[in-house]
Structure 1
Amino acid sequence: MNLFFEESGEFKTGSILNQVGEAYQIELPGGKRTKVRARDVLFQFGSHEPAQLLAEAGQIASEIDPDFLWEVAGENEFDYAELGREYFGHDPKPDEAAGLLLRLHSAPMYFYKKGKGRYKAAPEKSLKAALASIEKKKQQAIIQQQYVEQVKQGILPDSIKGNALQLICKPDKNSIEYKALDMACNEMHVSPERLLLNMGGIAGVKELHLSRFLFEHFPRGISFPEIDIPDTRFELPVADVRAFSIDDITTTEIDDAFSVTHLPDGQIRIGVHIAAPALGIKPGDALDEIARKRLSTVYMPGDKITMLPDELVNRFTLSAGENRPAISLYATVDPADWSVRETETRAEMIRVSENLRHNDLDRLITEDSLARNEGDYPHKEDIGILWRCARVFEKKRMEKREAFGLRPEQTNRVDFNFYVGDDGKVTIERRKRTAPLDKIVAEFMIFANSTWGKLLSEHGIPGIYRSQGTGNGGWMSRMQVKMVTHAAPHQGLGVDQYAWSTSPLRRYTDLVNQWQILACVNYGVAAPLSAPFRPKDASLFAIVSAFDAAYSAYGEFQSKMERYWCLRWLAQNDIRQTEAVVIREEMIRLVDIPLTIPMPGMRALARGTQVKVDLLRWDEVDLSVEARFLDVSADASEDELSESEEEIAE
């Protein structure tokens, strides 16, 4: 005797070898033996061989029309044998019964399983919906295949072209377009990005990199909502200074300016003036919400995504010839040794006389020209004073840095400026990071951030600080830069505390710190009761965490876009052989542009060694470069290296 039974959702047949209680030991058509529980058996038969029954049942099942079977079944729950008598007009034979079960089991849209051999016909409404869905999927499959064939013939369907960036950056993987693109790419052995670039679905590689970033970090776009611009005619005293700023030609968010005033007693008062959007933006208002969502301006060669709307920036940026609100730090220094006698912080209006630009002055203002008092340029005397003072500030920082146990900071390092024209041509210019104007700005910003960080700490209110070198563990751990809400040393800079406060138009941390500084200025010892953020404020910790993540992501994107433009520069200038500098084991950086290239297998060379390399190929999509080591050149001078140990750690 043989059994027809169900196992793991599948119908099977086998010959009975023996029965023990409620279990059968059977032999399957292939010779395998297994145990079958009695509750899983649908019927016994002896008229057919097990394999023959399944074959004949399959033939019968294929001939049963599910629509007609559904009509015969009626609305009530039924047993397969009952339906078999109705359908076949007699008690079903074993092959008919098996064929009917196979058909019922293979049509779940028509029949719902209710138990062993028991089913119920699907309601008409549900069946029609299910059939419509099946038909829709069939039509979609036809359209999908048509799309695939079009792509393979070099034709990009409009529905794919119109959603190309979405399909790459944030696709709906259930859509016809995505499935067709994926299938076509698999058949053509090409990535979706390259296929869409080659077929004009994406305008260019730059758009691809930018769109990926925007889809992830600005999913609602980069435009600002309608805002009310605050009145900047604050009732503040107007500073009696002749201030000037120093920035790159592309800078529009001018955060800082300087002034130099000679006092009657022979001392000099140096002013560091920082744009004060904190006077117009209040914690929790609509403008604060905008700034807190973005957290920082995003920079990339040739473009940027500002933290604040242009209309607001234009009201607070320190443009020449306009009265603008500022937080000013005045340091009274003795020109005999450039020591700081006292400092004072004020909220006031200042009028910047000139916006000086690096691009115009760097070639005129050098260490030699300053030493010889040569050249003719605006604010020449003031810049000379700032330079002498900045050098003393730097020397004291380096002494402090060495007291922390660190080696002297590397000097004469190189920075690179990117300029992208409307025609897409990129210019990359080398400039020493420690050129006089750079050093002046850097030293006085460090001075201001350190001084204001101390001011916050002395008033007992928190701020957002950058701390380095206070961790436990190895060197890399100790040199990791962290953001904290209390005063802590920044050993790499050589200061006891460092609170970012000098770029409130482009960094949210600086805007937060400026609110706290204003509380110190306005309320003095009562600042802890009036500051927007109190000690252990949970919202301040949330700001630190969010900013850290966003700033890291923005920096990574900037580096990626700089790498892209480096590769464009190679192509535009047809560079095939060039000089490079070893920056660490198996890693080099080109001399003319800040492009780093891994060189696996390159023999060990000292950091700073200059080498010649062949550039074999590069890819602007995945930003990879393949190069071949040729030979060692003359040793690189110190200014060829752009990474200090602190930067590597950070």
Structure 2
Amino acid sequence: MTSAPHTAPDLSSAQRTEVELLARGRAEKSRTLRDLGLPETPESAHALLLRLGLWPESQTPYADRLGATLEPSRLELPQWPQEDRLDLTHLNAYAIDDEGNQDPDDALSVEFLPGGLIRLWVHVADVAALVTPDSPLDLEARARGATLYLPDQTVHMLPTELVAQTGLGLSETSPALSIALDMDASGNAEAVEVYLTRVRVRRLSYGQAQAELEAGSPDFVALADLAAASAALRASEGALSIDLPEVRVRADESGVRVEALPKLPMRATVQECMTLAGWGAAIYADDFELPVPFATQDPPLRDVAGDTLPAHWARRKTLARTRFQPAPGPHSGMGLDLYAQVTSPMRRYLDLVVHQQLRAHLSGAEPLTGRQIAARTAEAQMNAAATRTAERLSRRHHVLRFAAAQPERLWEATVVERRGPQATLLIPELALDLPVTAAAAPGTVLSVRLTDIQLPALSVRAQVT
């Protein structure tokens, strides 16, 4: 960490405010830093505040710098509309997520149909029932773009009261928008329907769902079989498999915790079912000529074979950026002819727009035009990009804090890329990548000590031992 200088300047209240504004990205210059002979940059201001003990190491300025709001939404909620809903409370519905999740927005059910078909139900929180196009709630959600998930706090895209009202399984029964796909054993969908429903949801962690699968619960076995067939079918259509380490980073007054996300089969099952929901929603929208933010992606720049960490690292770098457009197109990375994100309307604005369009069709209302969808997409993507960048930088900040608290620890790192004398290391336990000068081929496992951690610059050095 940055050490305190032998003589630290005393700052007046006005000087501290001036330096903090620069550190937060709310000012471009600082006379105080200039007088001290320091660079007038947010990083330099951050470093000074740390050296003087005016900011704790837990302070993260990245959301401020990027313009991502940290204030919760306080808008009032409208009343639930009076409307007919298909009663699915007789089905077992499971909201499966990480332990401690506070915004359950999707759940799964299965029905066993004649002829060997299985109907996969993906129930999604009916947020659009309360957030109508161009309402104050809609405009604020669009301005945020997405929920901001930081290691030390969550800033919801929508009011927390709305999350409590629409979250699946937070009440005895929950209103939902449900996507039904009649699936055969090969992973093909023979029919797709969308309904406004009422469901009874049981909340489970991934670990609890995995235990149900291992115990042979028919619902969970059917979900796993469906997901496996669907994933195999997408792979045959060119879907890319990318498996890189993931960690959960939590920070509070007691410090930082970095925990690897267990790679349970049920996690992959749930992810595949959510992919099927997005495919089904896109098919439904296309069938009825509804413009929605379809997610598209060009083919990869090159083929990368193998199942090693370096192969997965290289494969991810071949992916083109996902584009959102009002007309359908192929999503090459997923191996799908069309796709739309639909399972997180309380957390991602473009998912909410898809729901608004589906609801308009189901209720006979006038849907938004392609031009309106394109405008909303552009605005929301710009705002969500700031949110995602703030998340990424804040996570790295706290991961470096976690590592700095263990200065003598040796970490196992894998060389995932090599260019000349420079290599890129990946530390799986931290999901942290960093450059190093090392004459080691991709795939080589090294033991490293992390040194010279500088939080303001988010920099660290790896000393190969």
Considering fraction of residues, name the structure with more helix: 1
> For residue 58 of structure 2, what is the aligned residue in structure 1?
206
- Identity between Structure 1 and Structure 2 (%): 24
Of 269-278 and 615-624, the range deviating more from structure 2: 615-624
> For residue 625 of structure 1, what is the aligned residue in structure 2?
460
Deviation at 1:547, TM superposition (A): 2.4
Deviation at 1:569, TM superposition (A): 1.6
Q: Could you state the TM-score of these two structures normalised by the residue count of structure 1? A: 0.62
2 CA distance for matches of 1:357 and 1:413? 21
Query: Aligned in 2, Cα 1:180/1:615: closer, same or farther, shift over 3 Å?
Result: closer
Of 257-266 and 386-395, the range deviating more from structure 2: 257-266
Alpha-carbon displacement from aligned partner over 1:6-38 (angstroms, at most 9, x marks no partner): xxxxxxxxxxxxxxxxxxxxxxxxxxxxxxxxx
Q: Does 1:341 align with 2:178?
A: no
1 CA distance for matches of 2:65 and 2:390? 13
Q: Does 1:479 align with 2:315?
A: no
2 CA distance for matches of 1:300 and 1:263? 43
Aligned counterpart in structure 1 of residue 449 of structure 2, from 597, 610, 614: 614
Deviation at 1:575, TM superposition (A): 4.3
> For residue 328 of structure 1, what is the aligned residue in structure 2?
178
Q: Does 1:553 align with 2:386?
A: yes
Q: Does 1:502 align with 2:343?
A: yes
Q: Contact 1:182–1:192 at 8 Å: present in 2 too?
A: no
2 CA distance for matches of 1:516 and 1:507? 15
The AA in structure 1 aligned to 2:45 is P
Paired residues for 1:270-419 under 5 Å:
270-334=120-184, 337=186, 339-352=188-201, 354-358=202-206, 360-361=208-209, 364=211, 370=213, 374-375=214-215, 380-401=217-238, 409-410=241-242, 413-419=244-250
Q: Does 1:158 align with 2:17?
A: no
The count of corresponding residues between Structure 1 and Structure 2 is 439
1 CA distance for matches of 2:76 and 2:339? 33
Aligned counterpart in structure 2 of residue 603 of structure 1, from 436, 439, 464: 439
1 CA distance for matches of 2:191 and 2:150? 39
2 CA distance for matches of 1:465 and 1:194? 43
Query: Aligned in 2, Cα 1:322/1:201: closer, same or farther, shift over 3 Å?
Result: same
1 CA distance for matches of 2:319 and 2:171? 46
Deviation at 1:309, TM superposition (A): 0.7
Paired residues for 1:140-155 under 5 Å:
154-155=9-10
2 CA distance for matches of 1:427 and 1:409? 25
Query: Aligned in 2, Cα 1:171/1:292: closer, same or farther, shift over 3 Å?
Result: closer
2 CA distance for matches of 1:264 and 1:318? 29
2 CA distance for matches of 1:292 and 1:182? 39
Q: Contact 2:77–2:162 at 8 Å: present in 1 too?
A: no
Q: Could you state the TM-score of these two structures normalised by the residue count of structure 2? A: 0.85
2 CA distance for matches of 1:612 and 1:489? 42
The AA in structure 1 aligned to 2:281 is W
Q: Does 1:592 align with 2:429?
A: yes
Query: Aligned in 2, Cα 1:465/1:183: closer, same or farther, shift over 3 Å?
Result: same
Q: Contact 1:185–1:192 at 8 Å: present in 2 too?
A: no
Paired residues for 1:52-201 under 5 Å:
154-162=9-17, 164-170=19-25, 178-186=30-38, 191-201=44-54
Q: Contact 1:229–1:312 at 8 Å: present in 2 too?
A: no
> For residue 451 of structure 1, what is the aligned residue in structure 2?
280
Q: Contact 1:283–1:532 at 8 Å: present in 2 too?
A: no
1 CA distance for matches of 2:318 and 2:407? 42
Q: Contact 1:426–1:568 at 8 Å: present in 2 too?
A: no
2 CA distance for matches of 1:515 and 1:546? 17
2 CA distance for matches of 1:594 and 1:488? 32
Query: Aligned in 2, Cα 1:173/1:583: closer, same or farther, shift over 3 Å?
Result: closer
> For residue 567 of structure 1, what is the aligned residue in structure 2?
400
Deviation at 1:436, TM superposition (A): 1.6
Q: Contact 1:461–1:531 at 8 Å: present in 2 too?
A: no
| Gap runs ≥5 in structure 2 | 1-5, 304-316
Which secondary structure state, in structure 2, belongs to the residue aligned with residue 492 of structure 1?
Answer: helix
Deviation at 1:154, TM superposition (A): 4.1
> For residue 519 of structure 1, what is the aligned residue in structure 2?
360
The AA in structure 2 aligned to 1:258 is L
| Gap runs ≥5 in structure 1 | 1-150, 403-407, 524-529, 631-650
Query: Aligned in 2, Cα 1:275/1:301: closer, same or farther, shift over 3 Å?
Result: same
Q: Contact 1:173–1:179 at 8 Å: present in 2 too?
A: no
Query: Aligned in 2, Cα 1:243/1:295: closer, same or farther, shift over 3 Å?
Result: same
Q: Contact 2:19–2:45 at 8 Å: present in 1 too?
A: no
Deviation at 1:163, TM superposition (A): 5.2
Query: Aligned in 2, Cα 1:163/1:232: closer, same or farther, shift over 3 Å?
Result: farther
Q: Contact 2:108–2:120 at 8 Å: present in 1 too?
A: yes
Q: Which has the higher contact order (CA 8 A, sep 6+)?
A: 2
Deviation at 1:532, TM superposition (A): 2.9
Let me know the Cα RMSD of the aligned residues. 2.9
Query: Aligned in 2, Cα 1:250/1:531: closer, same or farther, shift over 3 Å?
Result: farther
1 CA distance for matches of 2:165 and 2:374? 30
